[in-house]
Structure 1
Amino acid sequence: MIEIHVIDAFADKPFRGNPAAVCLLERFPSDQWLQQVAMEMNLSETAFLSPQEDGSFRLRWFTPTVEVDLCGHATLASAHYLWETGRVDRKQALTFHTLSGQLTASASEDGWIRLDFPVEQITETEAPDRLADALGGAVPRFVGTNQLDLLVELDLEEAVRELKPNFAIMAELGVRGVLVTARSQDERYDFASRCFFPALGIDEDPVTGSAHCALAPYWRDKLGKDQMTALQSSARTGVLRLTLAGDRLHIRGQAVTVLKGSLLHLPAQ
């Protein structure tokens, strides 16, 4: 049997934040088996870890339909899993080798986990045809891109919360995802967002750490702040503490394990 946990990331209590499945393997089996497990878990992300001789880990992320290059909440969940199960001492920082290069995670005494991710700069772009239709009629005040996703700023946080996207149209925009954001009207947060990835089989991702690699530098330039607190305003909600340091972004969040189980059907040898 192979152990698998479901962990709510960017959450301080169960059933909030973004759930990710985490599975530790001695070595990676076929991509087909990994994709089948992710499809079976049917979460926005399933993370697969494999230990390396130097104490680091290879880390791969799968949605129910595809492998992705970068995922924040499943990286946070993976770090939480390794420390909580005692496979790595919590005082020891973690190094992950991924399709987006080397990522690290470290734990603080207050229970928060810090991830070190690359920054993705946003450049203004023309709004794609039918973007307004994809946004359910919402009118953007800014549209930008990091070559993979669109970043759309709306005038009010309320408009972000009440957004009713047309996912069929959004999936045809020719981008990986759409990040919709606005300045927060709550003094506890600097900005709010919702993130949609229907082209990847995820209509709305509850909390998206990797999206903040683009959202954080965008709002730094608007607010003049290197340290910010962000709210992702999905139905589950999640809070992220962000610190920009050159071309890196430190993302801090919490995590809670909600399920522990075993995979009974093992990959072919």
Structure 2
Amino acid sequence: MTLELFRKAAFTDGQNGGNNAGVAICSALPPEEEMQQIAADVGYSETAFAEKRDDGSWRVRYFTPEMEINFCGHATIALGAVFGELFGPATYPLILNDREITVAANEDGSATLVSPGTSSQALEENLKTQIMTAFSLTDSDLDPAIPPALVNAGNNHVLLPVNSRECVAQMSYPFEEMRSLQQKEGIPTIILLWRENEQTLHMRNAFAYGGLVEDPATGSAAAAVAGYFRKAGLMDFGHGPARLVFHQGDDMGIPCRLIADIPEEPGSGISLTGTVRSID
């Protein structure tokens, strides 16, 4: 068995920022315990492991330093960029644990994934209260036009839309308390989101679930939010697919930009594009 390991930053802002990801191209996927150890040694929030199948598709699994997860957006964008370097621009089918998606390696070195299908539901009131209390938020901090929700595009995320950029900038919470709650409820991230205008969104993602206070760029969360906005009637499809641009990581000093192109079809996957740079 051979394994070639790459280190990339995905969803960069030009040549700055981006969320670090490991990408392992394998002749055969290692045993689960070995993949977990490699992800821990790499030390990034996620590492993607990919094995090419006889039919041309790629079997992909994602590991944080502590556990396996079913999908990771920024690691998929990094994987797409690696495919482009190794095999050239093309669209590559990916077989995940519980679904199939694609990632395209683009001519300019960026990559575009099509997320799993999206879904959302109202946030259970007791869970909402627990999280808002932990984040020192009150109802007056929320955006009255966008109800809190449980959103999904491969992973569950709690979405708390707030009414000011300051609320996003001031994000803080008790780490161990939220880590326990997020793991108990199966919620990888909690999203604080402020809508600057119809196209521009600012978000921060608490990632105690995966052992990090915050994730600088979260593709699955961006896709889930885009799907929720579509379902809630917050998008204009008068001229074809709508677009959202997510600003994330700025408050960490790690600027990241995630571009979501949203088809009108309810529940369909979201196209997410990001630029990628290599990590020395």
The TM-score by the shorter chain falls in which range? 0.7 to 0.9
Contact 1:146 1:214 in 2 (8 A): yes
| TM-score of the superposed pair, with normalisation by structure 1 | 0.86
Cα displacement string for residues 86-134 of structure 1 (whole angstroms, at most 9, x for unaligned residues): 2x122x2111111241111123344432111123222222152432232
Equivalent residue runs for 1:50-69 within 5 Å = 50-69=51-70
Return the alpha-carbon distance in structure 1 between the equivalents of residues 133 and 206 of structure 2. Answer: 14
Confirm or deny: 8 A CA contact 1:14 1:257 kept in the other structure.
Answer: no
Decide which moves more: 102-111 or 132-141.
132-141
How much does 1:162 deviate?
A: 2.0
Aligned to 1:193: 203
Give the secondary-structure state (helix, strand or coil) at the position aligned to 2:213. strand
What pairs up with 1:15-94 in 2 under 5 angstroms?
A: 16-84=17-85, 86=86, 88-90=87-89, 92-94=90-92
Higher helix proportion (structure 1 or 2) = 2
Q: Given that residues 134 and 166 in structure 1 are in contact (C-alpha distance below 8 angstroms), is that contact kept between their aligned partners in structure 2? A: yes
Q: Cα gap change, 1:258/1:13 in structure 2, threshold over 3 Å: closer, same or farther?
A: farther
Report the structure, 1 or 2, having the larger strand content: 1
Matched, 1:224 2:235: yes
Is 1:212 equivalent to 2:222 in the alignment? Answer: yes
**2:148–2:161: 8 Å Cα contact kept in structure 1?**
yes
Deviations 1:140-184 (A, max 9, x none): 524211373211111112211221222222223343221111112
Deviations 1:212-240 (A, max 9, x none): 12111233436323222111144112111
Q: CA deviation at 1:83?
A: 1.4
Secondary structure at 1:130 match in 2? helix
Deviation per residue, 1:172-225 (Å, 9 max, x gap): 33432211111126x8x5211111121222321110001112111233436323
Root-mean-square deviation (Å)? 2.1
Any stretches of 5+ residues in structure 2 without a counterpart? Answer: 237-241
Higher RCO structure, 1 or 2 (CA under 8 Å, sep 6+): 1
| 1:40 Cα offset (Å) | 1.0
Cα displacement string for residues 230-264 of structure 1 (whole angstroms, at most 9, x for unaligned residues) = 111441121111111221101111101113xxxxx
**Equivalent residue letter for 2:171:** L
Q: Is this contact kept in 1: 2:114–2:270, CA < 8 A?
A: yes
Structure 1 residues without counterparts, runs of 5 or longer? 260-269
> In structure 2, what is the equivalent of residue 253 of structure 1?
274
